[in-house]
Structure 1
């Protein structure tokens, strides 16, 4: 029987109806699992593969083999393999170049599935805004959108909008001049890890992340050590979800659970943390609003951005 199926496979390769790559994949699969699989069960699987090779691409065959391999292995063997793969997970900081930091991530199938399921919805293109107020296509590459999505996920994990944070919300201590903090244009701030942050970035982060500004006057004279910004409460977040339903930026449909509560009048400028000064914005459009200095009108029915 074994010789017969290999004969059929060889005939298909010789006739050009299937590729050497297809045949090699099946032979490797049989060799890898022969010692642990029931012979009759394995024979039936390989026979079905050989009979349907013409309809399978290389990728489709690889997925079929992966599934078959999992069904043939004893549960204990699968558990051991999963454990080995989990130990093989790695997240490393490769280095810096041209002001950018590179990381490398290696995941097992479970980890990859979790990351893909979480990132893919957030990495979809979202409308951008031209300086004249017209909407335009998202200019970011797929790789950039994935990076932005990962950062958004990390932000949600350490400070979830429903108030049930997995870890303590990050506290970012930033040293900067009073003028830079107030006007959001001049100068820059230095975070406690020595990264340089622009005032605009700090003001945006302060909307939905814990930022403690250490404000300097003249030559490093400390004028004020601010207290952490008061955030919107879980009840306010629920009310915003009902009122806004999505990101309030024109044309964006990002769901509320992936949005940040933005202070329309910034807290630095005396803006209160109440619903009349709040708007849901996705991470990308939160940045757009701060970079452009956009204003909005907030009513009981929703938010209108002046773009």
Structure 2
């Protein structure tokens, strides 16, 4: 322990010489990295100095000592409470340093002779400043957990190897190494742990008072792995698409939306989403896709989402709609956007709640039609987002406009552009027929008083006409 304090003093002097009287701001990169390294070593040597002190405090504060307990004399229930209060740390941190101190201190035998520490390799690494108390505690906890089943020799060899690996990785990465080491030391313990994880899986759903759906879930590795991989892959694709749009087509139209900053495109505004928001969007899109699947192994045949609204509200763009299965109403604008999805059935009601339109199959664009539209539009016809991020939008609406489900009345739009078209007064005009048709976007007067059409689809990239 005296060596730890000596090294702490030397490191503190070295840091003082490097810093001098200069402020941290603007310090040279090499000096900054050197100081950061010194601080890390100082923390590890402080842990090495503190661990035996904490162990001795715990020994002199044993419960059997009663009123003679050192902690009780100082006004604390136990040594951990005393350490937490006097060092300004948490009870968990105090518990950890006591655990490390007890596991790395020499053991006094009944004969009065000192025996080696219970974890000598960890003790040596801690004393050398190679690892700190968090890494030491993680290694000790895992080894103690498997000690009886793995045997002393295997545990000792694992401790040696883990101490060699511990100085490099972060604590999170070390935990992953420890998980694999534990599976190697105790392979029979993996299956019971997985059985417990499977038994603990759940997914809770409830609505808050505003109508938002709240999900809380816990999955075992078998079920959690595909969920994690799918969501991460979707988010990675979204981020790549955002970079591509910014580099190639992000400013193709210069069209702003109310959610955008001045001069920012609707696609860029959508890309301001956080990673959790993107993951939430990915989960929703995957569920929409599953609802549209007809795979025989899926046990949800016939399951769909029904959005109910009155014809008057639909035509006027006011009022509200309801979604089967959710209690809170939604705006007509939201209902319009949802109803353009092939997996959402709009239920339009007239007087006396008469059903005017169920959005039957003839109202829905087929897969072949979407492929044809993809050939014509090349993705989102407005901002150029990838085809996988688009849905088919009816240009002329159902009963209100007498719209038909054909190529001349369909266009591929991403969610952001779909929002603009529905809610902000943009119009779409198709000139020509089939996949060679021209797609024009006509801005509302508040964007362009002359309402000059702007070319969309693949045609906007043609360099000859």
Q: Which TM-score applies when normalising by structure 2?
A: 0.55
Equivalenced residue count is 295
Mapped pair 1:107 → 2:216: no
Mapped pair 1:276 → 2:388: no
The match for 1:86 is 198
What displacement does 1:22 show?
A: 0.5
CA distance in 1, matches of 2:357, 2:223: 39
* Secondary structure at 1:55 match in 2: coil
Deviations along 1:228-267, one digit per CA (max 9) or x if unpaired, are: 34322232233344554534441523x52x5322223333
8 Å contact from structure 1 (residues 263, 277) kept in 2: yes
Deviations along 1:27-75, one digit per CA (max 9) or x if unpaired, are: 111122334447655544432221122212101101111223334443x
CA distance in 2, matches of 1:248, 1:36: 63
CA distance in 2, matches of 1:71, 1:80: 15
8 Å contact from structure 1 (residues 36, 73) kept in 2: yes
RMSD, aligned CA: 3.3
Q: Which runs of 5+ in 2 are unaligned?
A: 1-115, 444-465
The match for 2:131 is 18
* Secondary structure at 2:333 match in 1: helix
5 and 260 in structure 1: CA distance in 2 versus 1, 3 angstrom threshold: farther
What displacement does 1:275 show?
A: 2.6
CA distance in 1, matches of 2:137, 2:182: 16
* Farther-moved stretch of structure 1 (130-139 vs 148-157): 130-139
Mapped pair 1:199 → 2:311: no
286 and 80 in structure 1: CA distance in 2 versus 1, 3 angstrom threshold: farther
Q: Structure 1 or 2: larger helix share? A: 2
* Secondary structure at 1:54 match in 2: coil
* Farther-moved stretch of structure 1 (18-27 vs 117-126): 117-126
Alignment of 1:114-125 (within 5 A): 114-123=226-235, 124=238
The match for 1:9 is 122
The match for 1:143 is 276
The match for 1:172 is 306
CA distance in 2, matches of 1:41, 1:205: 60
* Farther-moved stretch of structure 1 (293-302 vs 11-20): 293-302
The match for 1:190 is 322
Mapped pair 1:157 → 2:290: yes
Q: Structure 1 or 2: larger strand share? A: 1
